[in-house]
Chains A and B, each alone.
Chain A
Amino acid sequence: MLDAIASTWNHWDLIVSFALRDIKARYKQTALGVAWALLQPLSMMVVFTLVFSVFAKVPSDGAPYPIFAYSGLIFWTFFSNTISTGTVSMVANATLIRKIYFPRETLLTSVVLAGCLDLAIACLLFAAMLFYYKIAITAAVLWVIPLVILQVLLALGFTGLTAAAHVNFRDIGHALPLILQLWMFASPVGYPISVIPAWLQPFYMLNPMAAIIDGYRRAVLLGTAPDLYALAVSAVITVGVLALALPIFKHAERTFADVI
């Protein structure tokens, strides 16, 4: 784990370069540019508001449903985009991997970093919505920082596993969109945790993203601390995933150039 932190520190310039490349390349020759970073969560918010709130009358813990959905969606989008881009990042950079050595995990970290920009842009609109709905922010908003860190670590761990697997088995590329979609519905993105039956809750909270997304909502919309017990479970799972992913990725990395 310390190695990974040291490597990230030592190769920070490379990570930034990759992230800049991805961001610049992503929005070159597009008419809307970075506005695309807003359109994804925004359009999902409209759909969710219609389906969950207007049609199905799902509650939203007292907050107006659109901002409730948007707050879940931006963090989920960050998570799922990181994983789906990260997973294919090795194959997407195949020519580079075949020809030049550099620590391959920098590609994953750079995906997270590039994702942070999209998240920041989405958060600007979030701030505007908070203002519109007259929701006051309290000191509890600082909880967002550890939550983002936890979420980033979880995404890195998970994508380390899927990226390494994807080099060898392209099946992952087909399965992942499905998995991420199921995962979103298993997380409190469009609905509050309160609608989950009590007997199911202990199992439900095994999904590390459940406590994280719920935590964001409490911190920003309700101005309270996250459910610390659930968050601890989530942190333990995250550390477990990371501890599994790091050695597996570093081992698989040795033969990426041969099989990619």
Chain B
Amino acid sequence: MADTVVDLNGVAKRYRLRRGWHVTSLGDEIVRLGSRLLGRSVEARDEFWALRDVTFSLERGEILGLIGMNGAGKSTLLKILSKVTVPTRGSFAARGRLGALIEIGAGFHPELSGRENIFLNGAIMGMTRREVQGKFDRIVGFAEVERFIDTPIKHYSSGMQMRLGFAVAAHTDPDILLIDEILAVGDASFQAKCLNKLAELKEEDKTIILVSHNLSTITEHSKRVLWLDHGTVRMMGEPDTVVDAFLEDLTEEKDGEDELAAGSSRREAGKPIAILDVTLADACERPQTRFDRGDAVLIDLTYSASQAMPGAVFLVSIQDVQGYPLGGVSTDPDSLKITGAVERGVVRLRLDPLILNKGVYTLNVQVMDPVTKRYYEIKRRVARLLVDGQRASSRETSGHVYYPHQWEELR
């Protein structure tokens, strides 16, 4: 049954990077026109292709996961899919009503009550007044704002506003649904509701496009995954295959726009202490960035100090790909002391066993004085840690951290 509901063919999107970021004045435009008449090309320098030649189609009931680094073009693609903007080249066609769980609550007016905003937002999303009327109680119940429904939403907490926005969007009954970071909204019980809603929509054979930084969310829910890289489709296919290739690529990508290339090799003059290098190695001290859960990881911090710093504490923290901190460990100033000027000192952190689940993680390194709380050095994203392999891929766990565990049946 070839029932195509979304069809993109050679879609490309160009943005112009003009002085003053898009807000132009007539004067600018005359200058541009003038230089064009003189045959000078002002375009090439000022333009940026956010998407190039994106081609794919989705059939009814398909669930597509969209992954890629920040700036890969995911948001631009969503904007095209939601018809907020049109492609510069190529064609896009969608059959059926489109709904977007992106930027929910964008249509809210702070002075209006929750009730008025439900009708307003529902109308913006394409529902008729009667339709909203029919779903009103369910929307209010979903958002858990019954008591405040006639209060202007400027008095709502930000969580309440987001819940209300999500509730309206989730009840638009679209044929094609775009979801951006479904789990970024609300507390745990509300997230459970959202996931149930997603499951419900899946059963109703809706076509869903799902964007998330959380790769396990993507593999869990999608039937296919599209990997966007610098505006082009790098890969599309089976969720596990694409996510694995994506992770592989992240570790290979040594430097880039990030600070990941391990920083400067010298300490700047005047700085009392500096981290020069951070390297990862396996249990046999072989340089390595890819580990399985349960492996031993050696993290060597090379530093340079200009004077004795008995109070200095080294701190290594791990965060997920979105920059969400997972936890850190620091040295004990009583057992590790910098007693004099060191040209190249090395501190080793041993994580054994590694208790992270499959994913890409980055390391932050800091040196601080625990008494004055003064930071001598803060280095973000100095190294990347890829966790992959048989144990890490097992389906018995979820989230980032693995808890050593046993289950027992007592009765």
User: Could you tell me which A residues sit within 8 Å of B by CB distance?
Assistant: 13-14, 16-18, 20-21, 24-25, 28-29, 95-102, 168-171, 254-255, 257-260
Contact = CB atoms under 8 A, between A and B. Distances in A.
B23 A100 contact: no
Contact of B111 (A17, A18, A25, A170): A25
B347 to A, nearest CB: 47
A99 B106 contact: yes
Contacts of B103: 99-100
Contact of B106 (A24, A100, A169, A171): A100
A20 B112 CA distance: 10
A101 B82 contact: yes
Interface stretch (B38-46, B119-127, B225-233): B119-127
Interface stretch (B24-32, B278-286, B401-409): B24-32
B106 A17 contact: no
B117 to A, nearest CB: 9
Given A14-B123, A102-B126, A20 B116 contact: yes
**Which secondary structure dominates chain B's binding surface?**
loop
A255 B86 contact: yes
B102 interface: yes
A91 to B, nearest CB: 10
A98 B82 CA distance: 11
B109 A13 contact: no
A101 B83 contact: yes
A255 B80 CA distance: 11
B123 to A, nearest CB: 4
A171 B84 contact: no
Contact of A100 (B107, B129, B152): B107
B85 interface: yes
24 contacts: A13-B123, A13-B127, A14-B124, A16-B129, A17-B119, A17-B120, A17-B129, A24-B111, A24-B116, A25-B109, A25-B112, A95-B106, A96-B106, A96-B107, A97-B84, A98-B84, A99-B103, A100-B106, A101-B84, A171-B26, A254-B86, A255-B86, A257-B85, A258-B85
A168 to B, nearest CB: 6
A6 to B, nearest CB: 15
Contacts of B109: 21, 25
B323 to A, nearest CB: 23
B106 to A, nearest CB: 4
Contact of A258 (B22, B100, B120): B22
Interface in B159-183: none
Contacts of B86: 254-255
Given A14-B123, A18-B120, A101-B84, 20 more contacts: A17-B120, A20-B116, A21-B120, A24-B111, A24-B112, A25-B111, A29-B111, A97-B84, A99-B84, A100-B100, A100-B107, A102-B124, A102-B125, A170-B25, A171-B26, A254-B85, A255-B85, A255-B86, A258-B85, A259-B22
Contacts of A95: 106
Nearest to B103: A99
Nearest to A175: B26
B15 interface: yes
Contact of B102 (A14, A18, A99, A168): A99
B85 A100 contact: no
Contacts of B124: 14, 17, 96, 100, 102
B116 A100 contact: no
Given A13-B123, A17-B119, A100-B100, A169 B85 contact: no
Interface of B: 15, 22-26, 29, 79, 82-86, 98, 100, 102-103, 106-107, 109, 111-112, 116, 119-120, 123-129, 152
A257 B79 contact: yes
Nearest to B131: A13
Contacts of B107: 96, 100
B26 A169 contact: yes
A29 B116 CA distance: 17
A22 to B, nearest CB: 9
A259 B107 CA distance: 19
A33 to B, nearest CB: 14
Nearest to B13: A258
Given A99-B84, A101-B83, A258-B85, A21 B112 contact: yes
Nearest to A168: B24
A97 B26 CA distance: 22
A169 B120 contact: no
A233 to B, nearest CB: 31
Contacts of A21: 109, 112, 116, 120
Contacts of A98: 84
B25 A100 contact: no
A260 B79 CA distance: 14
